[in-house]
Amino acid sequence: MFTGIVTDVGEVTDVRDTARDLRRLTIACRYDRATIADGASIACNGVCLTVVAAGVDRGRTWFSADAAAETLAVTTAGQWRQGTRLNLERSLRIGDELSGHLVAGHVDGTAGVAAREDLTGMARLAFAAPPQLSRFIAAKGSVALDGVSLTVNTVTGVRFDVLVIPHTLQVTTLGALTAGDRVNIEIDLMARYAARLTERP
């Protein structure tokens, strides 16, 4: 589990297909190498990936993780290349502060940036969600976009917008988003279960 509070922005340094429908990604970060164990979970742009190797190269920590066919098809991971910047978050530990909202790291799909409005130090970003996911998105509710916990401002059909504060623009990759870009989206777990409970058997 995660909280949607980004703790580092990493950079993809190597991408290689290691088997049919399996891609190994190597990502450089600022985490202490000693704290990254094989099998650890790290959210990369909201995608929960399992560490299969880690090390230090020229003073910078790196870790490798494998992305399978489903991940490559459903998320933006299939488009990650050398140099791609990724929002990173370590998995939640018992006793950690829950500053965002509960995020599973199980991306539901991708959303497109429909518009961007730059305000004084902030940005209003509008997104178009896949129709099958839009019913789970509500004004004042939570959504994770590229692994960042955000509050939804307004919803109109499949379109919704969020207001991104200066700090988030500076410490995540959201500051670089422009119209036409795509982001990973994970709907709020509570919204998912609430919808399921209201379905007729």
Give the number of domains in the chain. 2
Q: Residue 200's pLDDT is what?
A: 61
Q: Indicate if the pLDDT at residue 17 is higher than 90.
A: yes
Q: 94 or 6, which is more confident?
A: 6
Please tell me whether residues 151 and 72 are part of one structural domain. no
Please tell me whether residues 120 and 63 are part of one structural domain. no
CB 179 within 8 Å of CB 114:
yes
12: pLDDT confidence band, cut at 50, 70 and 90? very high
Residue 64: inside a domain: yes
Report the run of H or E that residue 170 belongs to, with start and end.
helix 166-171
- Of 63, 90, 117, the one marking the end of a domain is 90
Q: Residue 165's pLDDT is what?
A: 96
Please tell me whether residues 56 and 118 are part of one structural domain. no
Residue 152: inside a domain: yes
- Any idea what the CATH number is for the domain that residue 185 is in? 2.40.30.20
Q: Residue 102's pLDDT is what?
A: 84
CB 91 within 8 Å of CB 106:
no
Residue 135: inside a domain: yes
Please tell me whether residues 64 and 135 are part of one structural domain. no
CB 133 within 8 Å of CB 192:
no
Q: Residue 1's pLDDT is what?
A: 87
Q: Indicate if the pLDDT at residue 107 is higher than 90.
A: yes
Query: What is the torsion angle, in degrees rounded to the nearest 10, for the CA atoms of residue 127, residue 128, residue 134 and residue 140?
Result: 20
Q: Which residues contact 151 (CB under 8 A, 6 or more apart)?
A: 140, 141, 142, 162, 163
Q: Residue 90's pLDDT is what?
A: 96
Residue 52: inside a domain: yes
Residue 67: inside a domain: yes
Q: Residue 201's pLDDT is what?
A: 60
- The proportion of the chain whose per-residue pLDDT surpasses 70, expressed as a percent, equals 97
Please tell me whether residues 192 and 130 are part of one structural domain. yes
- What residues make up the domain containing 147? 109-198
Tokens of 54: 């880690």
Residue 96: inside a domain: no
Mean pLDDT of the chain: 93
What's the number of CA atoms in the CB half-sphere (13 Å) around residue 82?
4
Phi, psi of 70 (to 5 degrees): -60, -45
